[in-house]
Amino acid sequence: MGHAARRGYLRVVYGRYGKAEGKSKERMLDEFCLNTGYHRKYAIRLLNGAPPGKGEGVRARGRKPQYSAGVVSLRAAIWEAAGYPWSMPLDPPRPAPTRPGPAGTSFTSTNFASGARTSPCPPSASRSRFFQA
């Protein structure tokens, strides 16, 4: 039995199953499981759940868009007119120092504030190709 046939059979059995009581409901459930190949608990969930046909189809996944299409096109036009700022790849962050600095220096917040080079890594040359004067 194909998927479409199972859904059609569910539509037929759904109404009768909702009105049935006791042993007749149990027999219907056994017959439904036998004909469709569904596990019993899944069949119970289908037959006791929302009516078939409601909510079927493609469901949107993920977050809803934050901006309307008009706002997105306006932002794109402004970004293009500004020469695509922030579209150039930047260096990955340098690793944190794992050993003390040269003799007589230390890695402290004052060194960072003064602009002293505190990274043990050499300066990267990869940014120079993007920021030529």
Give the C-alpha separation, 91 to 112, whole Å: 19
| pLDDT at 72 exceeding the cut of 60 | yes
Long-range Cβ contacts of 106-115 (<8 Å, 24+ apart): none
pLDDT of amino acid 109:
47
Q: Are 108 and 100 in contact (CB under 8 A)?
A: no
List, in order, residues 6 or more apart from 98 with CB less than 8 Å away: 120
Give the C-alpha separation, 112 to 29, whole Å: 72
Count CB atoms within 10 A of the CB of residue 43.
22
Structure tokens, 117: 């080079």
Share of the chain above pLDDT 70, in %: 60
Region 59-84: what's the mean pLDDT?
85
Share of the chain above pLDDT 90, in %: 26
List, in order, residues 6 or more apart from 60 with CB less than 8 Å away: none
List, in order, residues 6 or more apart from 94 with CB less than 8 Å away: 119, 121
